[in-house]
Copies of this chain bind each other. A is one copy, B any other.
Amino acid sequence: MSYAILAASLRSAMQRADDDAIRHLIAEMQPADLADFVQHEQTDTVLALLDHLPLDKRATAFGYLDEGTQAEIAADLSDERLGELLTHMSADERADLFKLLDEPRRPGLLRRLAKEEREDLRKLASYAEGTAGAVMTSDYVAVPAHYEVTEALQAIRATGPNAETIYQVYCLDDDGRLVGTVSLREMILAYPSSRLAELMTEELVSVSVDTPQEEVAKLIARYDLLALPVINGGERLVGIVTYDDAMDVAEEEATEDMHKGVSVGKLEGGLRSASLFELYRKRIVWLVLLVFANIFSGAGIAYFEETIEAYIALVFFLPLLVDSGGNAGSQAATLMVRGMATGDVRSRDWAKLLGREVFVAAGLGLTMALAVSVVGVFRAGTEIATVVALSMVLIVIVGSLIGMILPFILNRLGWDPATASAPLVTSIADASGVLIYFALATAILGLPGAG
C-alpha cells in the first residue's frame, strides 16, 4: 500500500480508536513515513502511536522526526522510557537527541545506559555541530587486517546487528591503526581463506573529527562511498559517516546556500517549523543592511538632481536599467557561488571565467539595449534612447563583473561566498547603475543651466 493510503487508513483507525487496526497499519509503515505522519500530531497522540511499535522500530522512527519534535516528545517521556529509546537508537542519532535534552536531565539518563554506550555518547556529543565528529557514528565493524575472510564474516555476525553498516569493514594493524578497508562485496566474492590484508584497499579516503560536514558530504559523493572513516591524529579510527547521513547533509547545505543567496540565515528546522521570531530574526539583519547599502543609490540620484529635474523622462527608465544590472549580476554571482560549492569552479579558473564573462555580458547587454531602445525611442525620443541603450550595455557588463568578482573576494576574505552574494551584488550593481546612467545622461544631454 502506498503511504497516502496507509496514512488515511491510520487516521480513520485513530478516529475509531481501533487499536488492532492501528497496530496493524503502523507495522506496515516505513519508519520515515511514520515519523512524517506523527510530526504534526499532539505529543500525547505521538506517544500513544509510538507505543504500538516494537522498541527498535520506535527508535528508528523517532530518529526521523525533526529536532523540534524530538525535543518536545523527549521532554514528556519519563527517564525510564527515554533511556529505553536512547539505548535502541543508533549511536549518532542518540548523540544528536542527547544534545537536545536539558542539561539537568543528562546525568540521570547517562546512568541508565550501559558503560560502553555511555562513554561513546559522551564522546560523540562533545564534537562541534557541523563537523564530521557530530555526524559520525561509532557503530562500525573493525577487525585485524590479518584476519581471513571467514574470521571477518564471523566478526561481522557478532557485531553486525548493531553496526550502522556492515558493507564496509575497516582493517586495523596490531597497534589499532586504520590501515585499509574491505567491502563485504569483495569478501563475498573472494576465497573464504583470503586474508583481509590482501584484499583491502590501502588508499583510503578519510577525514578527521573536525572536518566540516559539507566537506565530508562532498567526499562521499565524489568517490561514491558507502561510508567514510573518521580518524584522529594517531590514525586511529573513531567513527564512520554513512552515505545516508551525507545525503541529509548535502540537502541541508544546498538549502542553506539557497537561503544565503537571498540573505536568509540558517533556520534550525524547516520553514514550517520555524517560529515567527526566528523567521524575523534570520531575515531582518541583511534587509536592514541592504537598506543602508541602497542609500548609495539614493546619494547617486541626489548628486544628479539637476539632470533629473531637467529631463524628468529619465526617471521612467531608472528601475528598468538599475534592475537589469542587478539581475545580470545575480545570475553571474549565483553561477559562480554554486560552481564553487560543487567544486566545478576552483580559484585558478577565475581569471579565465572573468574574461569569458566580459564577452557573455557584452552580448547580454547589447541584446537588452536593443530591446529597451525600441521603447526608448517611442517614449522619449532618440537622444534619451541613445543614453538608455548605452547605459544598458555598460550597466549589464559592470553588474555581471561585480557578480563574478564579489564571491571570490568574499572567499578570499575567508567568508562564505554564498552569504548575501546576490543581494549585495544587486545593491552594488544598483548604485553603479545609477551613476553610469545619470553620468552618461549629463555628458550626452548636457545640463540646460550650463548650456
Contact = CB atoms under 8 A, between A and B. Distances in A.
Interface stretch (A80-88, A124-132, A366-374): A366-374
A187 to B, nearest CB: 9
Contacts of A184: 167, 184-185, 188
Interface stretch (A14-22, A109-117, A319-327): A319-327
Contacts of A264: 331, 334-335
A203 interface: yes
Contact of A338 (B258, B330, B396): B258
A320 B294 contact: yes
Nearest to A167: B167
Interface string A207-236: 000000000000011111010000000000
A434 B318 CA distance: 11
Q: How large is the interface on A (under 10, 10 to 19, 20 to 34, 35 or more residues)?
A: 35 or more
Kindly list the 3 A-B residue pairs having the minimum CB-CB distance in the complex, ordered from nearest: A270-B344, A297-B319, A254-B254
Given A270-B339, A284-B367, A287-B324, 9 more contacts: A166-B188, A221-B247, A254-B258, A276-B360, A283-B331, A287-B367, A290-B324, A305-B315, A309-B309
Interface of A: 1, 28, 30, 32, 153, 156-157, 160-161, 165-167, 184-185, 188-189, 203, 205, 220-224, 226, 243-244, 246-248, 250-251, 254-255, 257-259, 261-264, 270-272, 276, 279-280, 283-284, 286-288, 290-292, 294-295, 297-299, 301-302, 305, 308-309, 312-313, 315-320, 322-324, 327-328, 330-331, 333-336, 338-339, 342, 344-345, 349, 353, 356, 359-360, 363-364, 367-368, 371-372, 375, 396, 422-423, 426-427, 430, 434
